[in-house]
Amino acid sequence: MLRAGCQLLTQSTLPAVKTGSNGFALEFVRWRRKPRWLPVAKSKIFRVPERKKQTEEERTELMRLHNRYKTQLRSVRQYLREEVVRHEETSTVDHIVLTPEQEEAEYQALIAANAEWNATIAREREQRLAKERDEKVAYVHERLEARQLRDEERRERANEAVLREIERSKTYITREGLNAAIETALANPVDPNFAIDMAGNLYQGRTTSQLPDADPQPDQQALSN
């Protein structure tokens, strides 16, 4: 019976992993000590632990330490008790009874002190608000000046762009001169294509001869020079 119980306890406390039908795993954790809810083992029910005997020297030392601890504890308690009594005797809040005139005078003094504190705080607040207003005004002026400078620069760039367009408009082809511009373009064809060889010679247009013995063009002579 005892062997079966030990086997069951071992099986329940050993780490084991079991996979259920739905795929999750069950893990049993080993306890470092015997769980609290398990009863006493049958082999230890009627066992009476033997009380260790103390020597005379050990008993004397323990008694000395115990007496010393009790003495220090009584000293601390007595000190705290005396402090409480001294505080109660020296405190004047509960022993002095003020007359109505004294209470009124103390109340007026407190009101005056409070009014003085309020006035001081009000002056400090006014100074702080005035400083913040000055800083804000200076910041606004700075932003306005920067905005004016940006507007002026923008206007200058716009005027320059307008002047450039006016100057370029002189070469625009109008509706009246469209036919003349077409005839001029047909009479003077322009080929923007060119090529450069390894020697640095420039060949203008697609119709230029690519033969080595061909005479170089004026642009080729200028480039070689």
Q: What is the pLDDT of residues 99-154, one digit of tens each?
A: 888 888 889 999 999 999 999 999 999 999 999 999 999 999 999 999 999 999 99
Q: Report pLDDT digits (tens) over 39-63.
A: 988 888 888 888 888 899 999 999 9
Q: pLDDT, tens digit, for every residue of 81-106?
A: 999 988 887 765 555 667 888 888 88
Q: What pLDDT is recorded for position 72?
A: 97
Q: What is the tens place of the pLDDT at every residue in 154-182?
A: 999 999 999 999 998 888 888 888 998 89
Domain ranges for the chain = 1-46, 59-95, 97-166
Backbone angles phi, psi at 27, to 5 degrees: -125, 130
SS3 state at 210: coil
pTM for the full predicted model: 0.33
Cα gap 37→9, rounded to integer Å: 13
Tokens matching residue 60: 């004397």
Q: Which residue has the tokens 């004397």?
A: 60
